[in-house]
């Protein structure tokens, strides 16, 4: 259409007919290896679940040309909470595989996202080609205050490269009545990050706040600053995405500096105390505020982080440890932001 807003360019809606005249929803299409597929959720009369996922090849925008193959049905404990549901499929073709996310269980705080994976060379119409993740890949996170994330889709950021997850979630857990009629499932977006083996990492629903960054020391490519419990170190390709995600926020010291806030534990900040670097919950008083504040110094290749309590010290990497010392611009004290 020259102008998709012009009603004259649109025809009447047409139903895509499947073998069952039963409850069906959430259809999406994708193209792979020169073939167009339809994927959707439907209640097949012979299956005692609410909805399963089906795939068929398409012969036109309005018709399927193959008998639907059931590729997922709710059987795992996290798929049958409240209702037995697999729905909301979304497809991402990357790294020699076809990844299909889907949503499961009731649409309250138990709602979550699973993952099906098939080889890019496989017969996508063969249910045996698809492997379901043993556990959900995206779930409620109490620390960030995000409940029931799911029913996602994918897009690409303005750079044309970065994959973006689009989903909805609530800011609260408790719901009165049927969660389907609760109106506050707000749309959200966040970056998809990839493991070294080519599989996606979704992390946790991150909640409100500014841009999210990961910090890589220039002297350790492929490694990231991450926290575990209260320790902060540098690890190569950490498996838990959220442990390596931070936000720069206005400095707690209130002197124009910045603080480095954990994304998955928003009440914790990177803190330098007694020569040690920790991720620590907020404490009252000026001492914590000063020790959790930094000055971001632009340098070649990234930034250096100067400790606000001592103008001579910087965060630096030393054989997997995160320490203080060095000078701005050294490879060990320069961090790329991704």
The pLDDT assigned to 53 comes to 98
Q: Where in the chain is the domain with CATH 2.115.10.20?
A: 7-201
Q: Where in the chain is the domain with CATH 2.80.10.50?
A: 215-337
Q: CA 321 → CA 212, 231, 239, distances in Å?
A: 22, 10, 18
Q: How far apart are the C-alpha atoms of 163 and 157, rounded to whole Å?
A: 6
Do the Cβ atoms of 204 and 220 come closer than 8 Å? Answer: no
Q: Sign (positive/negative) of CA torsion 61, 45, 90, 31?
A: negative
Q: Dihedral angle at the C-alpha atoms of 93, 212, 216, 319, nearest 10 degrees?
A: -120
Indicate the class that CATH gives domain 215-337.
mainly beta
Per-residue pLDDT tens for 108-149?
999 999 999 999 999 999 999 999 999 999 999 999 999 999
Q: How far apart are the C-alpha atoms of 5 and 19, rounded to whole Å?
A: 34
The pLDDT assigned to 208 comes to 86
CATH number for the region 7-201 comes to: 2.115.10.20
Do the Cβ atoms of 248 and 260 come closer than 8 Å? Answer: yes
In the block, which residue shows the tokens 């919950």? Answer: 281
Per-residue pLDDT tens for 78-113?
999 999 999 999 999 999 999 999 999 999 999 999
**Which tokens go with 314?**
């910087």
The pLDDT assigned to 207 comes to 85
What residues pair up with 40 in beta bridges, in sequence order? 54
**Which tokens go with 206?**
């991150």
pLDDT tens, residue order, the chain (338 aa): 789 999 988 989 999 999 999 999 999 999 999 999 999 999 998 899 999 999 999 999 999 999 999 999 999 999 999 999 999 999 999 999 999 999 999 999 999 999 999 999 999 999 999 999 999 999 999 999 999 999 999 999 999 999 999 999 999 999 998 998 998 899 999 999 999 899 999 999 998 889 999 999 999 999 999 999 899 999 988 888 999 999 999 999 988 999 999 999 999 999 999 889 999 999 999 999 999 999 999 999 999 999 988 778 999 999 999 999 888 999 999 999 99
Do the Cβ atoms of 202 and 166 come closer than 8 Å? Answer: no
Do the Cβ atoms of 130 and 68 come closer than 8 Å? Answer: no
């Amino acid at each position: 259409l020259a102008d998709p807003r012009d009603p004259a360019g649109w025809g009447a809606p047409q139903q895509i007919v499947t073998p069952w005249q039963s409850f069906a929803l959430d259809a999406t299409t994708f193209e792979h290896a020169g073939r167009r597929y339809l994927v959707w959720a439907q209640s097949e009369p012979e299956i005692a679940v609410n909805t399963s996922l089906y795939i068929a090849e398409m012969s036109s925008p309005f018709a399927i040309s193959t008998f639907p193959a059931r590729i997922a049905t709710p059987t795992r404990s996290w798929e049958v909470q409240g209702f037995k549901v697999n729905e909301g499929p979304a497809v991402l073709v990357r790294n020699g595989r076809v990844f299909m996310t889907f949503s499961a269980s009731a649409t309250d705080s138990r709602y979550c996202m699973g993952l099906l994976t098939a080889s890019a060379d496989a017969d996508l119409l063969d249910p045996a080609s698809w492997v379901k993740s043993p556990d959900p890949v995206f779930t409620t996170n109490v620390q960030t205050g995000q409940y029931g994330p799911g029913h996602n889709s994918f897009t690409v950021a303005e750079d044309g490269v970065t994959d973006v997850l689009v989903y909805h979630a609530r800011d609260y857990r408790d719901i009165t009545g049927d969660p389907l009629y609760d109106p506050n499932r707000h749309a959200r977006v966040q970056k998809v990050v990839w493991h070294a083996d080519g599989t996606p990492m979704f992390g946790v629903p991150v909640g409100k706040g500014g841009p999210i960054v990961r910090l890589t020391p220039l002297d350790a490519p492929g490694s990231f600053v991450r926290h575990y419990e209260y320790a902060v170190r540098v690890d190569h390709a950490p498996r838990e995405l959220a442990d390596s995600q931070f936000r720069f926020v206005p400095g707690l010291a209130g002197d124009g500096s910045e603080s480095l806030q954990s994304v998955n534990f928003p009440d914790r900040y990177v803190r330098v105390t007694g020569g040690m670097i920790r991720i620590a919950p907020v404490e009252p008083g000026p001492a914590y505020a000063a020790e959790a504040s930094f000055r971001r110094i632009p340098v070649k290749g990234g930034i250096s982080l100067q400790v606000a309590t001592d103008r001579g010290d910087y965060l630096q990497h030393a054989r997997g440890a995160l320490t203080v010392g060095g000078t701005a611009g050294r490879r060990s004290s320069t961090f790329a932001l991704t």
